[in-house]
Amino acid sequence: MAMASALFVSADPITIQQFSLALRKLSISPYICREAADAVILSNRRKVDAVIVDLQLGEQCGLVLDEVRLSPLNRTAVTFAISGSKAESTAFRKRTGFVFERPLSSQSIGSTLRPAYGLILRERRRYFRCPISNPVTITRRNMPEVRCLSVNISEGGMAVSTLVPLNAGEAVHVQFTLPNHKEPFLAESEICGLKAGQFGVRFVSLPQKRKSDLQDWLSRKLEETLPESIVHQFQKPEDSTLTVLAIQDGSERPGLPQS
């Protein structure tokens, strides 16, 4: 299973082949578009963690990047440009986070992807839903407490399983705990719908300290799913137990490069 996904926009077969191989080595699944119009449609329909645009497409590159920045799904995706000249690189450097310079090779592509990998996984973490079955207490105004079980949790909310009917849009307070955390999490929340016998809960307000704790916990759970081949790529030879997922906002952890 891929750890992350990337929208890749290029009409050059050799470039497509080079990047497909490099991305898959890092467990990043590429969605390949050879036309800017197709890329625009996909960017508004599918969540991706990175966007890579070949500047050989000319003016269409700007259209793709602008649409990505306007897309509710992908405006925070990590962006890259593939450049063929210094002038191209300069023109798009402010509109993209990273630039691949031609001529391309597996080594040069990897040297740009590796420093960006932590950012790509941080973007992935924002939407990562970690399966977890823990007791959850939902408090409603002038109503009895609802005791239920979590199904999964993300930065923005959780899915819960309960036989008690809840109403979409209803304001509630949610209390839960996470493994290895003694203090409970208490979040002002909103019920956001029913699907397959489960209710969605969106976190409206979570204290900053608890939000950071949740992000850190999710980072570590996401790290546990990294393929062993990727772990080895970012491990220092002298430290076989190195933590490799340095994607906690505002923190400095060993392993992948920080933003």
Q: What is the pLDDT of residues 194-214, one digit of tens each?
A: 777 789 999 999 999 999 999
Domain count, the chain: 2
| Bigger pLDDT: 96 vs 12 | 12
Structure tokens at 202: 């969106």
Q: pLDDT of 62-117, one tens digit each?
A: 899 999 999 999 999 999 999 977 666 566 666 788 999 999 999 999 999 988 99
- Which residue range is the domain that position 194 belongs to? 130-209
- Residue 241 covered by a domain: no
Q: pLDDT of 165-202, one tens digit each?
A: 888 999 999 999 999 888 999 999 999 987 777 899 99
Which of 111, 127, 143 represents a domain boundary (last residue)? 127
Residue 152 has pLDDT above 50, yes or no: yes
Same domain, 144 and 188: yes
Same domain, 134 and 95: no
Same domain, 106 and 144: no
- Residue 99 covered by a domain: yes
Q: For 166, which DSSP code?
A: -
Residue 31 near residue 6 (C-beta atoms within 8 A) = yes
- Residue 118 covered by a domain: yes
Name the residue among 55, 83, 52 with its Cα closest to residue 68. 52
Which of 81, 112, 127 represents a domain boundary (last residue)? 127
- Residue 215 covered by a domain: no
Same domain, 191 and 173: yes
- Residue 203 covered by a domain: yes
- Count of CB atoms situated within 10 Å of the CB of 175: 15
What percent of the chain is predicted at pLDDT more than 70?
86
Angle value at C-alpha 15, between 1 and 234, nearest 5 degrees: 45
CATH value at residue 171? 2.40.10.220
Q: At what angle do helices 106-127 and 13-25 cross, to 10 degrees?
A: 60
Same domain, 84 and 151: no
- Residue 218 covered by a domain: no
Residue 18 has pLDDT above 70, yes or no: yes
CATH value at residue 63? 3.40.50.2300
Which of 64, 93, 127 represents a domain boundary (last residue)? 127
Give pLDDT, residue 258. 34
Same domain, 115 and 41: yes
Structure tokens at 12: 């050059």
In the predicted model, what is the mean pLDDT of residues 54-63? 90
- Residue 219 covered by a domain: no
Same domain, 9 and 83: yes
Average pLDDT over the chain, rounded to an integer = 86
- Residue 220 covered by a domain: no
